[in-house]
Amino acid sequence: MRAQTVWSASLVGRPVLCVGTDLVDVADMRATLTRQPRFRTKAFTEAERAYCEIPEDPAERYAVRFAAKEAVLKALGTGLSGAALTEIEVRRAPEGKPSLLLTGRAAALAQAAGVHSWLISLTHTATRAHALVAGVGAGRPW
């Protein structure tokens, strides 16, 4: 059985409990990174910074990760004040599939909401970065 089929089958019967989305302007992110160099360490984990800093212009990668973090906090109903941004890490598998790792208060909020895993979709262009997340529950309630 293909890995994608196994992954899809694991979602059958699991409820989507919350959804969040966010759109970030890449030029705004570029300006923020220039004006506030400490923003990188305030908003992104060491692993995220290592991944984002590879290209000549890292703004697209930072922007889409920021969008994902804000989408998670929207899904959890808190907005940006709900948890530290570094408690939400966007990971990337070797084949490119994104995933989320929540720690600290962000993880506690997700647990309280019944979220056991996340679905995440990221996309970006030279001008816009978009993220969509869905918090998935444990399984059939019956």
**CATH code at 55?**
3.90.470.20
Neighbours of 56 (CB within 10 A): 4
Please indicate, yes or no, if residue 4 is contained in any of the structural domains.
no
Residues in contact with 16: Cβ distance below 8 Å, sequence separation at least 6, in sequence order: 119, 134, 135, 136, 137
Please indicate, yes or no, if residue 63 is contained in any of the structural domains.
yes
Please indicate, yes or no, if residue 56 is contained in any of the structural domains.
yes
Active-site residue set: 74, 124
What are the C-alpha distances in Å from 22 to residues 6, 26, 88, 117?
29, 13, 15, 19
46-98 pLDDT, tens digit each: 999 999 998 789 999 999 999 999 999 999 999 888 999 999 999 999 999 99
What mean pLDDT do residues 106-131 have?
96
Domain that holds residue 121: 15-136
Is a pLDDT exceeding 60 seen at residue 102? Answer: yes
Is a pLDDT exceeding 70 seen at residue 18? Answer: yes
Res. 142 pLDDT band, cuts 50 70 90 = very low
- In this structure, are strands 117-124 and 98-102 parallel, antiparallel, or unpaired? unpaired
Rg from Cα positions in the chain: 15
Is a pLDDT exceeding 60 seen at residue 7? Answer: no
Please indicate, yes or no, if residue 130 is contained in any of the structural domains.
yes
Res. 13 pLDDT band, cuts 50 70 90 = confident
* Number of domains present in the structure of the chain: 1
Is a pLDDT exceeding 90 seen at residue 119? Answer: yes
Distance CA 126, CA 118 (A): 26
Please indicate, yes or no, if residue 3 is contained in any of the structural domains.
no
Is a pLDDT exceeding 50 seen at residue 41? Answer: yes
Annotated binding-site positions for Mg(2+): 22, 70
Please indicate, yes or no, if residue 84 is contained in any of the structural domains.
yes
Res. 140 pLDDT band, cuts 50 70 90 = low
Which of 77, 59, 79 lies closest to 128, judged by CA? 59
Please indicate, yes or no, if residue 108 is contained in any of the structural domains.
yes
Annotated binding-site positions: 22, 70
